[in-house]
Amino acid sequence: MQTIEQAADQVGVTSQIWMDWECDRAAPESYHMPLMTGILGIGLPWLVTGQGPGPTPFVSASDVDEIRRELHTATVDAVHAQNRVQELLRQLQNLDLS
């Protein structure tokens, strides 16, 4: 993640100009936009219109680890549920409903 100063420097403007863009007090020239999309990790349509692929929120390693733990737990639960469904279907098939 970059600071405003670093991003502005890469585009070739002052940090005040960058902040003016962020606060809608000014708009970047079109020749700045391709650089901005690369720096921000967004698509040009999102930068111009707010539609399309937007910025990806920062995710920490601990967030990823927690999601992986929850996914593992959910997968185990799903396997147990599927096994239970199969067992119930077998029981139902063994009943003579005729």
Q: 14 CB contacts (<8 Å, ≥6 apart)?
A: 8
Residue 67 placed within a domain: yes
Q: Provide the 10 A C-beta neighbour count for residue 8.
A: 19
* Number of compact structural domains in the chain: 2
Q: Are 78 and 97 contained in the same domain?
A: yes
Contact indicator for 56, 69 with CB cutoff of 8 Å: no
Scanning the chain, the segments in alpha helix (DSSP H) are 4-11, 15-22, 33-40, 44-49, 61-94
Q: What is the pLDDT of residue 98?
A: 54
98 residues of the chain, pLDDT tens digit each: 678 999 999 999 999 999 999 898 999 999 999 999 888 888 889 888 888 777 777 667 788 888 899 999 999 999 999 999 999 999 999 887 65
Residue 10 belongs to a domain: yes
Residue 72 lies in a domain: yes
Structural domain range at position 70: 59-98
Q: Is residue 31 part of a domain?
A: yes
Task: Tell me what pLDDT residue 27 has.
Answer: 92
Q: Which pTM value belongs to this model?
A: 0.53
Residue 54 maps to a domain:
no
Residue 71 located in a structural domain = yes
Query: What pLDDT is stored for residue 9 in this prediction?
Result: 93
